[in-house]
Amino acid sequence: MSITTDRSQVSLLRRDRKFRPDWLLLISYMTLSALGLLMIYTASAPRLEALGVSPTRELEQQAAFVLIGFMAFGIVSLISMATIRPWVSAIYLGSVVTLVLVLSPLGSSVKGAQRWMQLGPIRFQPSEIAKLAVILALAALLAAAAKPMRWERVARAVALVVVPAALIFLQPDLGTMLTFGFIAGVMIFVAGATWRQVAALVVVGLIGTVGLFQVGAIKEYQITRLTAFLDPVSDVLNTQYNQYQSQIAIGTGGLFGKGLFNGTQTNLRFVPEQSSDFIFTAVGEQLGFVGSLLVLVLFGIMIWRVLVSAANAATRFGQLAATGVAALLAFHVFVNVGMTVRLMPVTGLPLPFMSSGGTVFVMMSVALGLSHSTWLRRPTLPIERSGAS
Amino acid sequence: MTGTWRLAGVGIVLAIMLGVLGLRLWTIQVTETDTYTAVAEQNLIRVVPTPAPRGDVFDRNGELLAGTRASLAAVVDMGLVEDEFAEVLAQRLSAFLDRPASEILERFENANSGAQIILAEDLTEQQALTLLEHREEFPGVAVIPQPIREYPGGELAAQVLGYIGKPSEADLERPDVKGTDVVGKAGIERSYDDLLRGTEGVIKYQVDAGRSVLELLGEQESAPGDNLILTIDIGIQAQLQQSLEAGLGLARDVEMAERQEALAAENGDIRTRLFLALEAKQLEAKRAEIERAAAEASGEESAVTDEDSADVDTVIEIDEGKVLGSLYPGLPVDGNGVCEPVQRVEVGVTSRTLLSGIKERTMQLLAVLQDRSQRIAVVDIDGERFEVEEGDSFATTLRAIAVTEDSIVVSHSDKWCPVRTVGVVEDPDNGAILAMASYPSFDPNSFVSGLTQSEWESLGTINAFTNFAIQGQYAPASTFKVVSYVLAMEEGIYPLDRPVGDRILGDENTDTTPLDEEGGEEEAAQSVEPTPSDSDLKPLTSDTDLYNCTGSLRFEFNDGSSQVYRDWKRNGHGPLDLHGALQASCDLYFWEISLRIWNERSDETGINNEDLWQEWARSFGFGTETGIDLPFERPGLIPDRQWFRDEQRQDTGRVRSTGPWVGGDLMNAVVGQGAVLVTPLQLSNGFSAMLNGGTLWTPRVVSEMLDQEGNVVDENPKSIIQKIDMDSATVWGLRRDMQQVVNGAIGTARAAFAGFGPQVSTVGGKTGTAEIIKAVEDVQEVDTAWFVGVAPVMSPEYVVTVVVERGGSGGRVAAPVARQVLQYILNGEAAVTPLEAGANTD
């Protein structure tokens, strides 16, 4: 595909007045964000009140991020993928550089992990930005792939992912590293990899992971964290304390939940990291199975819409970028919710649009914006044409 | 666009992932929600157990022996103390409890997370109030009711009651026993622990995940344990203990007097020096050197003081100035004239060359008795034993217990010094124990408040915690003649007829102990006058046929050799029948009975029932535990051929090291010596059975268990072990003869009961004196004085058994103790007359 084609599409879109947003995507995005704010409030207010500060402090903070995120989504939606594509290399390189910097004394450490970067008043997580950068870089690389894909292309794609993944591994942030693997796998598959290549990737991935364990690069606590969830009573008070408490909290929610502010587990702070990694616990306890299912359905709709954008994308670059976004969202949701119900180990991946945290929200919004951008610039579909006439 | 199917595939995979989450949520939130709700409840509530008061223990008249006082304790729930806060909390508690913060912090660190530790017991009211009022300053600290065990009588019945303490490994295997519990460790506190313990209660707090206590949710009060009513009579118990204590003093006074006498008779300045040798070889060399020096300069006082030849590298000589003359019996080490069974002696050291090395190396302490004849006594430190030279009166064991720069502390164990008195008072009609004690004793309250290490050790050294009435195994000596007495009457077996007036042996000066350790294998050294051959002797046929007790008896062996056995009374008792033999405690009479059993029935096949005597002894409960409701009871021992073959030889020092079971062993056994061992309770119970006409009761100290309302929940009724068929003539004869032991002209306890009072005729008894007894298992070489008293003798209601360990004569020291107890029982406290030594009888 060439840039010329993209330009023609933009003009086509404008000409046809097909500049129609994906309402379902917007509804799920906004509903999840709003629900996230509510959950953050219910989870943080009692604690903040006990500390004697404004109970809405965390809510206000997150609300600001949500607004920034909305704006970022809107802006990115309006930018054509074609406009972004020339910048991909720069974005990727910049991301790798910040990942290096975060490991340097410039980065700051939180709970044993070197994940934060301070830039003037802004503090952000380079690893979150890196997810976006990797999606874009992979999309650009794979968009030019021949069909069937050559091995050389697969190798380059893997190399592209391994560099930031290794840097993130050093932080250490196992969850994000695994996210890269998942995203890369999905994108390479969609880009047209042969079954052999897919199989080879799986094998290499497994060997790589086992190798890391073998050389002891993965620290003891990471292994413990990864395996502890398999044995619910091994050490309830330490390693999987959070997870166990979270599971209990969700379990007590029942079908309809205990109602807002009635979650004893949540409100009595048995579940730590309540408003960030374990925000889904507040949903499960307070809103029950119905509320939990609602959240999953909203994410389902969102991912479905992103995949539809990919299917309808005018360019391969857009298609692959949207595919990467879908994989990113799905992996985060699966791992995060899976963690709160002790289906997955504790990895520290936040729940998109709901967990508190600025970088994640803005980054996810940008990712969603990319997908939406391809949707807005999709070639006209017969149904829409007929609907317009 | 091509590849849409790939996107669809991805979509399906992602949908499945979400579906898995949905299913998992369904399981947790709908299917299993009840489980999680239950777990969440526990999450919120911390449960602090509150110990239950132990049940009270009363004597038979309802007097309190063990009770419980309410108190408050501070418990720290480590599950509620966050790590960062532990130090702050320790500091606050330190100021509050006046204990070093480091100590408190150490306890925090040693506790498991989630453990609840009792930090302070018996809080003052002020302390408890402060803790409760400032709960927020002491998160995780709870005030719980904690009952404290109290024994208002102090040492009264201490060994019967036992004591409580932290559970041992074995205790923890019992259901419902936790590491933080207190359990009975000895006595009825142990044997009735399950009843006494009660059910613990709980205090529930609601807490949040920040571990701070939100509110007190509720309290389930503990249920106290059941109360026990004992068969013990507090008055008799008190008198028994008082008399036992005084009795030990009396026995020691008697012993001291004897020593002074012996010393005066020897008219010698017997001195002792100590050498410390590092190895046995060097020790032997030193010993040889001393002997050589002694040979060269015999009669000279400083014969062994050869400073030059003493190799300073191997032998350390202890400053003689502090030791000389101090270790001979009669001159106690500390020089204050008190006979103490174990003394600590600090000895100066003149040569310090190797002192620092001593601690690391095997030590042997060499004590050299330096008197005119240069006799040598060597005593080991680390277990290997050097026997005292044959015929040596030196009877001291030494043990180095501490070595410092310039002194060695030696523990000096005086094996002739009386160490203990033990007593039992039993109701022969039902096995109820009215009193039971041994002295030295202890105060069980001290376990509640906590003993210091040195207190614990010093009480442990003298075995104050042990109930010797059931755990002490002693040779019963002449008291055991009643078994042969009953056997003779029931089986019609009497001694061989020896013509009255015909003295068999004339050598009065030969000093042979009746219990030669060689057991008669060798020919005795004494010249023996011709005696009538056995064929001339016919058995007596009734208990009134007279036997001539000459004072010594020759025992012939198949190989022609012979052994002379001597009665405790050198010149004999003259003509007497079975009754006289018991009253005067004539050894010969009973030896003759054993000889008849041996000669007529000895048969390894058992067809002729050579174990006739053992069967009678066992039928009265000897050789097996009585089954009293107290822990750690010992079985005693009734030896026979099988035991001798199977077990005796495995234990060096038991009776003798070689040879088969011989007639001499049976002779020793019938007079309660040799290998025979009984506990004081067994003797009391056996006498009870013989005196009540043949009913052997299970002895017991607890009669009833009551709940808190006073309702009887369980009983420990009298129960019969077995009924022995006894002729009434035997029973009446025994009662009358025991009466005569106390009242008759030849009675061995007559002197001891001289000041008894008008009711002396209703009292009976039997004395016993175990002379030199070889070490048998854990029983030291002891010299045991016995008295078993009974009153009223013709219809027995009380059997009083008294033992003085290493006490010497039963008639002299044991009978007076029993006399006081009987005086109290019959006529009350006012009738008790002061303790005085009786006659030196068997």
Per-residue pLDDT tens over the stretch B287-307: 566 566 656 655 544 333 333
Q: What is the pLDDT of residue B189?
A: 95
Strand partners, B412: B343, B398
Best residue of B5, B17, B21, B205 to probe chain A, by most A CBs closer than 10 Å: B21
B208 CB neighbours in chain A (<8 A) are: 268-270
Q: Please enumerate in sequence order all residues whose Cβ is within 8 A of that of B38, keeping only pairs 6 or more positions apart, or say none.
A: none
Is pLDDT above 70 for B722? Answer: yes
Cα–Cα distance between A139 and B233 in angstroms, integer? Answer: 99
Residue of chain B with shortest Cα separation from A316: B1
Q: Which of residues 175-194 of A touch B (CB under 8 A)?
A: 186, 189-192
Residue numbers in A near B39 (CB within 8 A): 248, 251
Model pLDDT for residues A156-200, shown as the tens digit of each residue: 888 888 888 888 877 767 778 888 889 999 998 888 888 888 888
Mean pLDDT computed over every residue of chain B: 77
CA angle at A306 for the pair A138 and B25, rounded to the nearest 5°? 110
Q: What single letter denotes the amino acid at residue B347?
A: V
Q: Among B387, B361, B364, which Cα is nearest to B376's? A: B387
Tokens standing for B156? 């009264």
- Mark yes or no for CB contact A292/B25 under 8 Å: yes
Q: pLDDT grade, residue B244 (50/70/90)?
A: very high
Per-residue model confidence as pLDDT tens digits over B487-545: 999 999 999 887 655 444 433 333 333 433 333 333 333 333 444 444 467 888 888 88
Distance of residue B174 Cα from the nearest chain A Cα, in angstroms: 25
CB atoms within 10 A of CB B193: 23
pLDDT digits (tens, 9 = 90+) for B585-613: 999 999 999 988 988 887 766 667 888 99
Residue with the larger pLDDT of the pair A240 and A289 = A289
Would the CB atoms of A334 and B39 count as touching at under 8 Å? no
Element housing B618 (H / E):
helix B612-619
The answer to whether A296 contacts chain B (CB < 8 Å) is yes
A148 at B interface, C-beta within 8 A: no
Q: Are B218 and B421 in contact (CB under 8 A)?
A: no
Higher pLDDT, B648 or A292: A292
Task: Say if A313 is an interface residue toward chain B (CB within 8 Å).
Answer: yes
Asked if A250 and B32 come within 8 Å (Cβ–Cβ), the reply is: no
Secondary structure E strands in B169-312 = 183-184, 201-207, 213-220, 227-230, 271-277
pTM above 0.80, yes or no: no
pLDDT of B390 reads 31
Higher pLDDT, B816 or B44: B816
Question: How far apart, in Å, are the Cα atoms of B123 and each of B105, B143, B189, B204, B463?
Answer: 19, 9, 25, 21, 33
Report which secondary-structure segment, H or E, holds B799: strand B798-805
Q: How many CB atoms lie within 10 A of CB B224?
A: 19
């019992």: which residue's tokens? B174
* Cβ–Cβ gap B24/A303 under 8 Å: no
Number of CB pairs, chain A paired with chain B, less than 8 A apart: 130
Taking the Cβ of residue B174 and every Cβ of chain A, the question of whether any pair is shorter than 8 Å is answered with no
Question: d(Cα B741, Cα B349) in Å, to the nearest integer?
Answer: 55
For A:67-106, CB contacts with B below 8 A are none
Q: How close, in Å, is residue B52 to chain A by CA atoms? A: 30
CB contact under 8 A, A247 and B36: yes
**What are the start-end ranges of the H helices in B28-157?**
33-44, 83-97, 101-110, 125-133
Average pLDDT of span B231-239: 96
Instruction: Give yes or no for A339 touching B (CB within 8 A).
Output: no
Which of A9-23, A316-330, A338-352, B148-162 has the lowest average pLDDT?
Answer: A9-23
- Closest partner residue to B7 (CB to CB) among A190, A289, A343 is A190
- Looking at the complex, does the CB of residue A330 fall below 8 Å from at least one CB of chain B? yes
**Bridge partners for B231 per DSSP:** none
Q: What is the 3-state secondary structure (H, E, C) of chain A?
A: CCHHHHHHHHHHHHHHCCCCCCHHHHHHHHHHHHHHHHHHHHHHHHHHHHHCCCCCHHHHHHHHHHHHHHHHHHHHHHCCHHHHHHHHHHHHHHHHHHHHHHHCCCEEEECCEEEEEEECCEEECHHHHHHHHHHHHHHHHHHCCCCCCCHHHHHHHHHHHHHHHHHHHHCCCHHHHHHHHHHHHHHHHHCCCCHHHHHHHHHHHHHHHHHHHHCCCCCHHHHHHHHHCCCCCCCCCCCCHHHHHHHHHHHHHCCCCCCCCCCHHHHCCCCCCCCCCCHHHHHHHHHHHHHHHHHHHHHHHHHHHHHHHHHHCCCHHHHHHHHHHHHHHHHHHHHHHHHHCCCCCCCCCCCCCCCCCHHHHHHHHHHHHHHHHHHHCCCCCHHHHHHHC
Dihedral of CA A199/A201/A206/A210: which sign? Answer: positive
> What type of residue sits at position B42?
Q
Is A250 an interface residue toward B (CB < 8 Å)? yes
User: How is the beta sheet containing B798-805 ordered, strand by strand?
Assistant: B433-439, B420-426, B798-805, B784-791, B764-770
Give me the interface pTM, i.e. the ipTM: 0.86
Q: What pLDDT, on the 0 to 100 scale, is given for residue B226? A: 93
Beta bridge partners of B76: B117, B141
Q: What residues of chain B lie within 8 A of the CB of A326, using their CB?
A: 10-11, 14
Question: Which residue did the predictor score with more confidence, B747 or A237?
Answer: B747
Taking residue B288's Cβ as centre, other Cβ atoms within 10 Å add up to 10
Distance CA B38, CA A254 (A): 13
- For range A66-70, the mean pLDDT: 94
State whether the Cα torsion A355-A357-A361-A364 is positive or negative.
negative
Q: What is the per-residue pLDDT for B128?
A: 83
Give contacts of A147 with chain B, Cβ < 8 Å.
Answer: 2
- From the list B7, B32, B113, which residue is nearest A251 (CB)? B32
Q: With a cut of 80, say whether residue B795 has pLDDT above it.
A: yes
Looking at residue A102, what is its pLDDT?
A: 80
Which of B829, B697, B777, B804 shows the shortest CA–CA distance to B251?
B804
| B365 has pLDDT over 60 | no
Q: For residue A142, report the phi and psi dihedrals to the nearest 5 degrees.
A: -80, -25
CB pair distance less than 8 Å for A327 and B10: yes
Task: Give residue A154's pLDDT.
Answer: 86
pLDDT digits (tens, 9 = 90+) for A375-384: 888 876 544 4
Query: From B26, which residue of chain A is nearest by alpha-carbon distance?
Result: A289
Element (H, E) at B697: strand B695-697
